[in-house]
Amino acid sequence: MKTKPVHRSEICHPPILSSQNRGWENILVEQFQSPPGEVSCLPGKEHTICLSLAPRPIRFLQIKGGTTHIGMYGKGDISITPEQTSFFARWDGDDCYLQMRIASDFLQSVATEALELNSDRLELRSEFRIRDRQIESIGLMLLSELQQDNLGGRLYVDSLANVLAVHLLRQYSATAPRVFIHKGGLPERQVLQVLDYIHDHLERDIKLADLAKLLGMSQFHFSDRFKQAIGTSPHQYLLQQRVERAKKLLKKTDRSITEIALECGFNSHSHLSKQFRQLAGMTPTAYRSN
């Protein structure tokens, strides 16, 4: 499923990191670092989650949809602003935060396909200052992707966006959804179809939507059933197969490690080395010399 790009509202300062030009679908992730100030945003067609990264708590005033919240806001605190909600904030200290904007039509699609929820009546609760370990964890993983500028990470980002969407619908929907999970994983025929596709396109930037489309199911259901069938996530399986191909090329060819990295879907020598070390326990150079 593909949605229109998510556009950022007017802010006081530009982000220091942004996924705006990364080709990420359904979610816009940006890191901001701002001195004391204020911001006002008009209602938009995105749900906005802000995760504080500030090392010291700062005093915040937020007005969302006509409701005023005042309090200290520190590292790990989260706010959720539903779509079509006007927003104003003022803070009195140096602020650093991660902002995740999820397209409303993407959330509606997840609600329809992954949960037994009428998307026409979809509504998230507005939250001012909450703690949620799962949202924080997803946010930090997305931030890590921004910092590393990894090509070939679209499948990973798609997976995180889907997990975040389902979590928001489960925990912060005004109407409590009932999750519908397919038990037993994928049939062998479908597993082989997906594995063949991954093997044939290792050098490409494979998206979760590409794999789900092969089987005509939602991204959420595909991820869940793939993991049940294989025992690992689509993203982790993809990394494993890329490293396995790199192993063969390291032993059977004299190509440079950079060339091998690009052929296997990694964006650089260092990107391959990092994943290779995690999965093989040594560097590509050490593996080749063994």
| Higher per-residue confidence, 72 vs 32 | 32
Total domain count, the chain:
3
Give me the pLDDT at residue 149, please: 63
Closest residue by Cα to residue 109 from 253, 254, 208, 245: 208
Whether residue 30 has pLDDT greater than 90: yes
Whether residue 225 has pLDDT greater than 90: no
Q: Does a structural domain hold residue 181?
A: no
**166 and 49, same structural domain?**
yes
Sequence-separated (6 or more) residues with CB below 8 Å from residue 45: 83, 84, 103, 104, 105
pLDDT tier, 47 (very low <50, low <70, confident <90, very high otherwise) = very high
Q: Out of 140, 172, 204, pick the residue that ends a domain.
A: 172
Q: Does a structural domain hold residue 88?
A: yes
Q: Does a structural domain hold residue 107?
A: yes
Tens-place pLDDT, residues 78-126: 999 999 888 899 998 889 999 999 999 999 888 887 666 665 667 888 8
SS3 106: helix
Q: Does a structural domain hold residue 101?
A: yes
**244 and 227, same structural domain?**
no
**227 and 83, same structural domain?**
no
Q: Does a structural domain hold residue 200?
A: yes
CA distance 79 to 50: 5
**21 and 40, same structural domain?**
yes
Q: Lowest-confidence range among 150-154, 188-192, 202-206, 219-223?
A: 150-154
Strand partners, 199: none
Beta carbons of 30 and 67 less than 8 angstroms apart? no
Q: What is the mean pLDDT of residues 189-203?
A: 88
Strand partners, 72: 59
Whether residue 6 has pLDDT greater than 50: no
Q: What is the DSSP string of 75-93?
A: TT-EEEE-TT--EEEEESS
CATH of the domain at 260: 1.10.10.60
Q: Lowest-confidence range among 34-38, 71-75, 104-108, 228-232?
A: 228-232
CATH of the domain at 32: 2.60.120.10
Q: Lowest-confidence range among 28-32, 61-65, 109-113?
A: 109-113
**263 and 143, same structural domain?**
no
Give me the pLDDT at residue 151, please: 56
Beta carbons of 198 and 259 less than 8 angstroms apart? no
Whether residue 272 has pLDDT greater than 50: yes
Q: Does a structural domain hold residue 250?
A: yes
**213 and 103, same structural domain?**
no
Give me the pLDDT at residue 8, please: 37
Percent of the chain with pLDDT over 70: 88
Give me the pLDDT at residue 244, please: 87
Residue 86, both tokens: 């006007």
| Higher per-residue confidence, 150 vs 9 | 150
How many angstroms separate the Cα of 46 from the Cα of each of 39, 80, 130?
Answer: 17, 11, 20
Looking only at the bridges linking them, the beta strands covering 46-52 and 17-18 are unpaired
Beta carbons of 127 and 80 less than 8 angstroms apart? yes
Domain that holds residue 207: 188-231
Whether residue 50 has pLDDT greater than 80: yes
